[in-house]
Amino acid sequence: MLTLDFHPTGRHFLQIPGPSPVPDRILRAMSLPTIDHRGPEFGALGLRVLGGIARMFQTRHPVAIYPASGTGAWEAALVNVLSPGDAVLMFETGHFASLWNRMATRLGLNTEVLAYKGKDDKLPNAPGWRRGVQADMIEERLKADTQHAIKAVCVVHNETSTGVTSDIRAVRLAIDAAKHPALLLVDSISGLACADYRHDEWGVDVTIGGSQKGLMLPPGISFNALSPRAIEASKTAKLPKAFWAWDEIVEMNKGGYWPYTPNTNLLYGLAEACDMLLAPEHGGLAAVFARHERWGEGVRAAVTAWGLEIQCADPSVYSPVLTGVMMPEGVDADAVRKIVYERFDCSLGTGLGKVKGRMFRIGHLGDCNDLTLMAALAGCEMGLKLAGVKLAGSGVQAAMDFFASHPARVPMPKAA
């Protein structure tokens, strides 16, 4: 029996960029008895969560909910709109963009991966892993594709491995400027319900989301937000699809049901999460985005005061969800993480793929607040010092100064 509900040291600090801590209110909602997924109560729940999740994506079109992790929803997006051998344009912004490319290749798609062309002394093996999608490169490539062989452009909105949030509106404008019919597929698994995201307004055809990040749910459900063009494409696309096929799901969703047994208790949690995040008295989605931006700024103030480098090298695309902290030459980021975990009961995100050992990631998403972040930063600062990293100054002090002088947009209820 795991005894994770009690730590002699108090609550564990789950400071990775997802799964993020699940609030008690959501845990309580998920503890309700599992009901008949064909019964009348379920239909009402289904319609409620479908309405709520559409608002999260800022779409009026259908959203497919899968009982799967984000990887499943990646696959769903590709197999629903593409055919074997189709050319797909991707952009390498980090580990997750690379994994999505690997999946597309395994599915028999013909991928072409663009990457940032500049040099980076700090990360010579992965210069593009410090920047966002370069929309002008996409425009140029699509303009050269006069035969319109490229069927889809796939990009990651919030690259969880690096802490970069790409400008999706700019990608849409690039596709339009090239007058190219390619579909736009966007992974916003870690951006959803943290960073501003507008599926309809930005003309995205499929957006992929996940439960375990801004929605503050455990892992286990994921999403495809659709556009009318994507639904049209799915009618003729030839990659094999059965479980992932949108047609039956969208049809049955009209009554609040699914063609298979859905993840009932996670849907209870999703209904609760939507109520919490969309509540007008808490400022709705605008306040959700604003508080993530503010947390990101506070954490970056700390990293800068330490004299360490933020992995994202372009301030216009700093992630409001997580911050990648690069280590000085010769310091193993995982050794720092180990100290912070063992000494201070705080989990930080590891460096993934090409940046393993070079950086760690601080998640600032979902159910956190100024003081939990301050504690996590204190854990980092102590861990860095114990690991022998020379710090220029106190990040904790810098973050305190930032949070104290920048009140949250939606204030706490006033004391009596």
The residues binding ligand PLP (CB under 6 A) are: 18, 69-71, 96, 156, 160, 187, 189-190, 210, 219
Q: State the nearest-atom distance from the C-beta of 106 to ligand PLP, in Å.
A: 15
Q: Exposure of 390 by Cβ count < 10 A (0-12 exposed, 13-18 middle, 19+ buried)? A: exposed
H helix or E strand, kind and range, residue 329: none
Among 385, 404, 405, 400, smallest CA distance to 307 is for: 385
Residue with the closest Cβ to ligand PLP?
Answer: 70
Q: State the nearest-atom distance from the C-beta of 100 to ligand PLP, in Å.
A: 7
- In this complex, which beta carbon is closest to ligand PLP, that of residue 94 or of residue 383? 94
H helix or E strand, kind and range, residue 402: helix 395-405
Q: By the 8 A CB rule, do 199 and 57 touch?
A: yes
Tokens of 416: 């009596």
Amino acid residing at 351: G
Q: By the 8 A CB rule, do 367 and 216 touch?
A: yes
Phi, psi of 51 (to 5 degrees): -65, -45
- In this complex, which beta carbon is closest to ligand PLP, that of residue 190 or of residue 253? 190
Q: State the nearest-atom distance from the C-beta of 10 to ligand PLP, in Å.
A: 26
Tokens of 249: 């799901």
Q: State the nearest-atom distance from the C-beta of 399 to ligand PLP, in Å.
A: 24
What is the chain's Cα-based Rg? 21
- In this complex, which beta carbon is closest to ligand PLP, that of residue 69 or of residue 83? 69
- In this complex, which beta carbon is closest to ligand PLP, that of residue 62 or of residue 363? 363
The CA–CA distances, whole Å, from 280 to 137, 213, 286 equal 40, 21, 10
- In this complex, which beta carbon is closest to ligand PLP, that of residue 111 or of residue 160? 160
Q: By the 8 A CB rule, do 155 and 166 touch?
A: yes
Q: State the nearest-atom distance from the C-beta of 277 to ligand PLP, in Å.
A: 19
Q: State the nearest-atom distance from the C-beta of 68 to ligand PLP, in Å.
A: 8
**According to the 3-state scheme, what is the secondary structure of 118-149?**
CCCCCCCCCHHHHCCCCHHHHHHHHHHCCCCC
- In this complex, which beta carbon is closest to ligand PLP, that of residue 283 or of residue 349? 349
Is the bond preceding residue 259 a cis peptide, omega within 30 degrees? no
Q: State the nearest-atom distance from the C-beta of 102 to ligand PLP, in Å.
A: 12
Q: State the nearest-atom distance from the C-beta of 314 to ligand PLP, in Å.
A: 18
- In this complex, which beta carbon is closest to ligand PLP, that of residue 180 or of residue 361? 361
- In this complex, which beta carbon is closest to ligand PLP, that of residue 186 or of residue 377? 186
